[in-house]
Amino acid sequence: MNHLTLNEYVARLSDVLNSINLLNWDASTGMPDAASRRRGLQVATLNTLAQQLLLSADFAAALAHDKKQPGLTLQQRNAHRALDEAIVWHKKIPAELMATQAHLTSVAEVVWREARAKNDFAAFKPYLEKIVELKRRVADAVGYENHPYEALMHEYEPGLKLPALQGLFEQLQSRLIPLARAVHAAPKPDNHFLFRHYPEAQQRQLSTHLATRIGYDFTRGKLDTTTHPFEISMSRDDVRITTRFNPHFINAGLFGTLHEAGHGMYEQNVDPALSDTALTLDLTGLYAVAGASFGLHESQSRLWENRIGRSLTFWQHHFSLLQSTFPGVLEDIDVGQFYRAINRSEPSAIRVEADELTYDFHIMLRVELEIGLIDGSVRVDDLPGLWSEKLQHYLGIPAPDDSHGVLQDIHWSKGMMGSFPTYTLGNVMGAQFMATALQSSPDIQKAINRADYQPLREWLTAQIYQHGRTFQPGELLQRVTGSALDAGPYLGYLEQKYRALYPSV
Amino acid sequence: MNHLTLNEYVARLSDVLNSINLLNWDASTGMPDAASRRRGLQVATLNTLAQQLLLSADFAAALAHDKKQPGLTLQQRNAHRALDEAIVWHKKIPAELMATQAHLTSVAEVVWREARAKNDFAAFKPYLEKIVELKRRVADAVGYENHPYEALMHEYEPGLKLPALQGLFEQLQSRLIPLARAVHAAPKPDNHFLFRHYPEAQQRQLSTHLATRIGYDFTRGKLDTTTHPFEISMSRDDVRITTRFNPHFINAGLFGTLHEAGHGMYEQNVDPALSDTALTLDLTGLYAVAGASFGLHESQSRLWENRIGRSLTFWQHHFSLLQSTFPGVLEDIDVGQFYRAINRSEPSAIRVEADELTYDFHIMLRVELEIGLIDGSVRVDDLPGLWSEKLQHYLGIPAPDDSHGVLQDIHWSKGMMGSFPTYTLGNVMGAQFMATALQSSPDIQKAINRADYQPLREWLTAQIYQHGRTFQPGELLQRVTGSALDAGPYLGYLEQKYRALYPSV
């Protein structure tokens, strides 16, 4: 590596991280199962090379040199800041700790899969204990302001402090708990027709059409099917999404596609000038992603899935296409019935199947347990009991068993502690952005009302997408909405929507 | 990179090179076209990192240390030899030359594609001139014994000398030219039924079945469709093949699949102990491949495609499956007619469509031109005229135009000069191996006669596949057959086959 410029070094880093994304995409979409072990090692090798590049003396010299240029732009200065912070962060974590984590989590994920299949928490327990211990050491190594949990959240939502998160949760609980109780006491709308026969080929056709309508660009993307849907990009011009088609449940593939298309539109609309720079890389997580944080990303997937895709006006335009795509299947159903069915709320044990009204309770439950695990006030042993208690508290139901309780999510087995808050942050920030967008121009809502999503997309691009990771999530939220995290718009949206759906509430 | 062992360094190199294979596989199978430019840069970056790793001081120290171990095995010593040679080879080529080649060929390939589409040799000519000039500089940098062409061939067939190749070509010409003339003067067997309607889904089913029958392992592989079929591996447990199904020509997908499955079986049957060592890497070409050379690889793809897949005994067993796979399509045809049709020979302008009897003429033509280009006796300007002359000489037909003549192959645009001989080497060596196999045990032919390909596959695995790149191609040929390159078995096979097919000859 002889005297490259900073931009050249960062472009190399970007190429390596985007290659890791392809290795991971392929592992989920078509790789033979037999190749899993070696693929894990291939990802680990590229990850090591990326970290070595970032921490090399040549890289540091190029960064120092780049900082001395006259007339640095805001983007250049923010890129320098991101690089400085990441280098400090990576240097704080001993290599031995990273290696242990990589090895432990690769084994733990396999153990977790088997434990979940067999409803055997005891089998996973010793691994989870080691992971918790390891995350505590990571937190101690990188440091924090108020609580070790902040150090873990930093990997997913840089800058977020625990008091701010807890304040947000309290704000949500005070209004969501009574709203959910009232809704769940009311008669449930019929939704049996969502479980009729929807052949996969037609579902794919419909999902492709609707994703295109909202603005996902298939000339720079691709839709595949996987067990667990996701979005990942190999460059701004190669942003792929996946979904899962269930021939006996229309929601999974349909709203799954709109959700991932929302993620995809964020990545596809970053300023091309930022491609392969530090402002389209998560340098802490060593992950090629243009979105500003996990929470910001989730704000966009949920905005397009829920605010647009689960709205009455959306289906007033597209329900007839849905009907004609599946001849005879929905001819006895009208758009009002369909809208009420796809928004039916009920307490359930599984996070990924939860409706808009109950989703955040699943997050609060997990985050409370994670905080306790990391500060030592909760022991791994206590998890199944606490899980049931909290599910009862928030949703009034017991956990069916550990497979459908404490073992349901992959996150902990992969060492992803501290990422759950970003789902709720996404809901909250999405509503703040939407409120700002609608206030900024009456044309945006008018266009949505005639199924034209371009003005909203252009506003989001100008305000959010184009900037990539130029701003930290808190900075970006403040810039766009003039406000810090605030659950008000989200609560207002949910209350209005569910009171209209359930007139007795 | 702190004090890894040689094995650990080489495993990293292997991971990077296998990741490049995935980047290339993906670019042909599903990547959005818009991503091409960045994908090229991603491959170039990983290639640079691989070369830096191979040439680093740490790597050299680990290699020196590894050599000092007591009791080195033959495999370890051969791995050291391969690493030493590759390091010397890469150090001889100035970095500037490699960078120029990478840039020039990435542009030239795009220009070539357009030139071929427009039948515009003049557009490609300046690029080809630069490529020839560059390959001459590469040859001068790495050195050669008799002729600069040897330096180019070394990348594909290490150790091959020009006099040996020219001797082989003369041996072939002396018997193939009269044989082909006689065959082409005889009445042609009917083959119109090969162009009936063969729906893609059933073709896929049939190809999958037959590839499995000969021994390609789908649990460690995958069949996709691409414009240009190929085989590539991401590890011993992830060896993928592609084919192209033409609904109006059964041969393309069927024999294409058997050909690539032959390549795949080579990679799938290397000794697992050699995985991710220097003996499953082409260190000169920086390409993850377990086969000993391009020629050795081609010997296996052609053996399974032609010696097995185009034999009468193969179709005596499988023709009824072919008939039942496409109900009604071939009910008026018997296995003898089918066998004669798939082996019909005729002069044609396009190499990749050529039959067994004429294929090598296409190679000789190209190799003669490449030799002339590299030693300066042929100018790029002269190519279209010489192409026509040589096509007339070998096949008795004129070149239809430059698109179907000098512009038909991608190789030169990619800087792959010196690789064409390996196709004919594959034919010749494959016949030498087959003759040795059949002599070594009568059970092999008996098993083939009852559609049991396991004894042949096991013999090939024991003699060739398991060794990966432990031996140089010439060494391996000598070890297995007791002979150097010898066209005798190949000529004997072709003469016997075509005299039986064309009784008037």
Distances (CA, A) of A403 to A21, A119, A349, A367: 29, 5, 10, 19
* pLDDT for res B313: 98
Nearest to A18 by CA among A50, A41, A52: A50
Between CA A211 and CA A453 the distance in angstroms is 11
Number of H helices, E strands in chain B: 20, 3
Q: What number of residues does chain A have?
A: 505
Q: Secondary structure of B255-297 in the HEC alphabet? A: HHHHHHHHHHHHHHCCCHHHCCCHHHCECCCCECCCCCCHHHH
Domains of chain A: 6-148 (no CATH), 162-501 (1.10.1370.30)
C-alpha B319/C-alpha B336 separation (Å) is 10
Q: For position B99, what pLDDT does the model report?
A: 85
A482 alpha carbon, distance to own chain's centre: 23
CA distance B356 to B487: 14
Computed over every residue of chain A, the mean pLDDT equals 96
Which of the four pLDDT bands, split at 50, 70 and 90, describes residue A51? very high
pLDDT digits (tens, 9 = 90+) for A256-279: 999 999 999 999 999 999 999 999
Q: In the predicted model, is pLDDT for residue A155 greater than 70?
A: yes
Which pLDDT score, from 0 to 100, does residue B2 have?
A: 57
Nearest CA in chain A to B50: A49
The per-residue DSSP string of B78-103 comes to HHHHHHHHHHHHHHHS-HHHHHHHHH
Look up A260 and say whether it is catalytic: yes
Cβ <8 Å between B276 and A31:
no
Closest CA to A155 of A98, A86, A102: A86
Percent of chain A that is helix, strand, coil (3-state, to 5) = 70, 5, 30
Is the model's pLDDT at A106 over the cut of 90? no
Å between B92 CA and nearest CA of chain A: 18
Between chain A and chain B, how many beta carbons pairs sit less than 8 Å apart? 115
Strand A238-243 with A231-235, pairing: antiparallel
| Cβ atoms of residues B444 and B459 within 8 Å | yes
Query: B220 vs A18: CB contact, 8 Å cut-off?
Result: no
Whether the CB of A222 is below 8 Å from some CB of chain B: the reply is yes
Smallest Cα distance from A34 to chain B, Å: 6
From the list B334, B353, B326, B350, the residue with the least C-alpha distance to B403 is B350
**What does pLDDT average to in each consecutive run of 10 residues of chain B (505 residues)?**
85 98 96 94 94 96 97 97 97 90 89 96 98 97 96 96 97 97 96 98 98 98 95 98 97 97 98 98 97 98 98 98 97 98 97 96 98 98 97 95 96 96 98 98 97 98 98 97 97 98 93
Token duo for residue A262: 């929302």
User: Could you report how far apart the first and last alpha carbons of chain B are, in Å?
Assistant: 66
Return the amino acid letter for A377: S
pLDDT digits (tens, 9 = 90+) for A296-347: 999 999 999 999 999 999 999 999 999 999 999 999 999 999 999 999 999 9
Tell me the angle at which helices B359-375 and B121-142 cross, rounded to the nearest 10 degrees: 70
Given the structure tokens 């689960």, which residue do they identify? A310
ipTM at complex level: 0.95
pLDDT tens digits along A53-72: 999 999 999 999 999 999 99
CA atoms of A292 and A460, how far apart (whole Å): 13
Task: Provide φ and ψ at B232, rounded to 5°.
Answer: -155, 150
A39·B234 Cβ contact <8 A:
yes
Distance from CA of A19 to the nearest CA of B (A): 7
Give the whole-angstrom CA distance, residue A486 versus residue A171: 9
Please tell me if residue A234 touches chain B, with a CB cutoff of 8 Å.
yes
Tokens of B345: 């020979």
Query: Above 60 in pLDDT, residue A100?
Result: yes
Show the tokens assigned to B192.
Answer: 């119109």
Give the pLDDT score at A175: 97
Tokens at residue A65, please? 């040199």
Amino acid (one-letter) located at B20: I
- Phi and psi at residue B327, to the nearest 5°: -55, 130
Determine contact, residues B407/B116, Cβ cutoff 8 Å. Answer: yes
Hey, are the CB atoms on A222 and B48 less than 8 Å from each other? no
Name the amino acid, one letter, at B181. Answer: R
pLDDT at A103: 86
In chain B, what is the greatest distance between 2 CA atoms, to the nearest angstrom? 71
Cα of B369 to nearest chain A Cα, Å? 38
SS3 of chain B: helix, strand, coil, percent, to 5: 70, 5, 30
Which pLDDT score is estimated for B1?
44
Compare CB distances from B31 to A12, A218, A238 and report the shortest one's residue: A238
Residue B158, classified by CB atoms within 10 Å of its CB into exposed (0-12), middle (13-18) or buried (19+), is: buried
Say whether A238 and B16 touch across the interface (CB within 8 A). no
Cβ pair B46:A1 closer than 8 A? no
Taking each helix axis from N to C terminus, what angle separates B335-342 and B312-325, rounded to the nearest 10 degrees?
110
Q: What is the mean pLDDT of residues A219-230?
A: 95
User: Is A45–B222 a contact, with Cβ atoms under 8 angstroms apart?
Assistant: no
The backbone torsions φ and ψ at residue A439, rounded to the nearest 5 degrees and listed phi first, read -70, -35
Q: What is the pLDDT of residues B2-23, one digit of tens each?
A: 579 999 999 999 999 999 999 9
- Report yes or no: A118 and A109 within 8 Å, Cβ to Cβ: no
Q: Whose structure tokens read 């072709």? A: B494
Q: Do A422 and A367 contact (CB within 8 A), yes or no?
A: no
Strands B231-235 vs B221-225: parallel, antiparallel or unpaired: unpaired
Q: pTM for this structure?
A: 0.96
A299: tokens are 């704000």
Q: In chain A, which among 253-282 make CB contacts under 8 A with chain B?
A: 275-276
Strands B221-225 and A238-243: unpaired
Looking at residue B72, what is its pLDDT?
A: 97
Nearest CA to B283 among B158, B421, B467, B142?
B158
Q: Residue B237, CB half-sphere, CA atoms under 13 Å: how many?
A: 14
> Which residues of chain A are within 8 Å of residue B235 when distances are taken between CB atoms?
35, 38-39, 42
Number of other residues whose CB lies within 10 A of the CB of residue B137: 16
- By C-alpha distance, the chain A residue nearest B276 is A38
Predicted pLDDT at A95: 85
Q: Is the pLDDT of residue A285 over 70?
A: yes
* pLDDT exceeds 50 at position A1: no
Indicate the SS3 state at residue A246.
strand
Tokens linked to B162: 């020009």
Determine what percent of chain A is predicted with pLDDT higher than 90. 96
